[in-house]
Structure 1
Amino acid sequence: MELRVRGKRFGGVPRDHWRRVNDRLDPETDYREIYRNAVAHEFPWDMNQALSFALFRTYAVPGIGALLDATGQFTGNCQKRYDDTALLLEVPAEKGFDDPDARAAIRRINQMHRAYDIPAHEMLYVLSTFVVVPKRWLDDYGKRPFTDHELVASVNYYRALGRHMNIPDIPETYAGFERVMDDYEREHFAYDEGGRRVADSTLALMLTWYPRLAGPAVELFSRALMDQPLRDALGYDAPSPRVEVLSRAVLRMRGKLLRAFPARMTEQAVADLPWVRSYPDGFRIEELGTFPVPGVAGCPVRHNESAPA
Structure 2
Amino acid sequence: MNINATLAASLDRQETPSPSDWETTFRQMMLFDLAADMELGFFLSYYRNFAIPSIAKTLHTNAEIQQRAMKRSYDTAIVIYELIACGLDSDRGRPMVELLNRVHRNVPGSKDDFLYVLLTLLVVPIRWIQQHAWRQPTKAELVAASRFFTELGTRMNITCVPATYEEAEAFFDNYETTHVAASPEGRHLMDATVQVFQDRLPAPLRPVAKQMISTMLDDDRLTHALGLPRAGRISRTALTTGLKLRNAITRRRPLKTKPHFTPGDAGSSLYPDGYSLNQIGPVNVPHSPAHAGNELP
Q: Does TM, normalized by the shorter one, top 0.5?
A: yes
TM-score normalised according to structure 1 size: 0.85
Identity %: 26
Offset at residue 205 of structure 1 (A):
1.1
Partner of 1:258: 250
Aligned partner of 1:239 among 231, 239, 252: 231
2-side partners of 1:139 and 1:219: how far apart? Answer: 23
Offset at residue 63 of structure 1 (A):
1.3
Partner of 2:77: 86
Aligned partner of 1:130 among 83, 108, 121: 121
2:214 aligned with 1:223, yes or no? yes
TM-score normalised according to structure 2 size: 0.89
- The Cα offsets for residues 234-290 of structure 1, whole Å up to 9 and x where unpaired, read as 12220322322332332233223311111222111166574x332223333234212
Does the 8 A contact of 1:131 with 1:155 survive in 2?
A: yes
2-side partners of 1:219 and 1:176: how far apart? Answer: 32
Task: Give the 5 Å matches for 1:174-193.
Answer: 174-193=165-184
What is the SS of the residue equivalent to 1:239? coil
Offset at residue 291 of structure 1 (A):
5.2
Aligned partner of 2:55 among 47, 57, 64: 64
Count matched residues: 283
What is the SS of the residue equivalent to 2:92? helix
Change (3 A) 1:117 1:213: same
2:289 aligned with 1:289, yes or no? no
Change (3 A) 1:286 1:128: same
1-side partners of 2:50 and 2:118: how far apart? Answer: 14
Does the 8 A contact of 2:266 with 2:275 survive in 1?
A: no
5+ residue gaps in structure 2?
A: 286-297
Does the 8 A contact of 1:35 with 1:154 survive in 2?
A: yes
> Which letter does structure 2 place at the counterpart of 1:92?
L
Offset at residue 117 of structure 1 (A):
1.5
Does the 8 A contact of 2:60 with 2:189 survive in 1?
A: yes
Q: Which has the higher contact order (CA 8 A, sep 6+)?
A: 1
2-side partners of 1:112 and 1:76: how far apart? Answer: 16
Offset at residue 128 of structure 1 (A):
1.4
Higher helix share: 2
